Amino acid sequence: MDVAELVTNELVAAYSRDGAVCLRGAFGPEWIATLTTGIERNIAEPSDRSRFWDRDADGRTTFYDSQSWLHIPEYRDFAFRSDMAGIAGRLMEVEAVNFFFDAVFVRSAGTRFRTPFHQDEPYWSVEGFETCSAWMPLVPVAKVSALELVRGSHRWPAFRQIDWGSVNGDTRDQVVYDDGDDRSPFPDIEGDRDSYEILSWDMEPGDVVVFNGRMVHGGSGNLAPDRDLKVFNTQWLGDDVRVLFRPEGMSPDHSAAMTAAGLSSGDRIGTDLYPQLWRREPTPV
């Protein structure tokens, strides 16, 4: 389907207002098969950035890996050849889109572990309003087990985020703010769910939730005993994004890779590591 047909003006307006939209049937069965092969390859060949976010007493796991397009050809293919970059560009209403990284969240059947509510962009090695993530389940997922997003929260201030290192026990994800940091503590969404408008959807393979990097989101998990969940996720960067190395720590921390690629805080994103994969076509005069 043509991107302009899929991403209607109504969806562009809803993305700007709510911070997230669910696109139905955005990707056909070929992409789902390609990415499923990719995830299988990725589990067999994890990168040194992979970790288990959770492993419960019954051995059920939540596996995570990121920036694996560097060694998984199926992910690279999707990033470079699918319509995802154009979808991101149209929803963010920007002139150009760079690919940031991919991430996978693979939960074994029956996993209960839910990702705590958080915002993404305050953890990243970049800063900007024009960022988005595309959360794409490769298997059917019930609303109760899908990603949850707090409507309109992309326009809230950035809060102090929780320390991922204390959630998954991995020091690479440690994020610790100075006592003098003036950001407010993260609101207790889970403890006060009725006070927020929480968006989530029953989803089929091919559907994708695209959300602004500042959206408060979390969830997944809560799986029925016979259901697993394989999610392929990509992150995209628009015009106002600049590199930012954060003193409190980053997750995933790209500062070493960015420095090696010649990028420093304040730079426009680019290089072969963060390729520009879409540009708006000039309007004919």
Ligand X SMILES: O=C(O)CCC(=O)C(=O)O
Residues that bind ligand X in the complex, under the rule CB under 6 A? 105, 115, 120, 133, 135, 147, 217, 220, 231, 233
Tokens 């076509």, residue located: 281
Give the shortest CB-283-to-ligand X separation in angstroms: 33
Residues 6 or more apart from 186 whose CB is under 8 A from it?
A: 117, 118, 159, 160, 161, 162
Cβ distance to ligand X smaller for residue 91 or 231: 231
Cα distance between residue 221 and residue 229, in whole Å: 8
Strands 217-219 and 147-150: antiparallel
Counting Cβ atoms within 10 Å, is residue 266 exposed (0-12), middle (13-18) or buried (19+)? exposed
Cβ distance to ligand X smaller for residue 82 or 233: 233
252 cis-preceded (ω within 30 degrees of 0): yes
Cβ distance to ligand X smaller for residue 82 or 220: 220
Give the shortest CB-239-to-ligand X separation in angstroms: 21
Give the shortest CB-277-to-ligand X separation in angstroms: 19
Residue type, 187: P
Cβ distance to ligand X smaller for residue 74 or 102: 102
Give the shortest CB-12-to-ligand X separation in angstroms: 21
Pinpoint the alpha helices (H) of the chain.
Answer: 3-6, 9-18, 29-44, 73-81, 84-92, 164-168, 255-260
Cβ distance to ligand X smaller for residue 169 or 266: 169
| Displacement of CA 233 from its chain's centroid (Å) | 5
Cβ distance to ligand X smaller for residue 169 or 262: 169
Cα distance between residue 31 and residue 246, in whole Å: 35
Give the shortest CB-181-to-ligand X separation in angstroms: 22
Give the shortest CB-215-to-ligand X separation in angstroms: 9
CA distances from 254 to 51, 97, 244, 251 (A): 16, 18, 10, 8
Give the shortest CB-279-to-ligand X separation in angstroms: 25
Three-state DSSP at 60 gives coil
Cβ distance to ligand X smaller for residue 206 or 271: 206
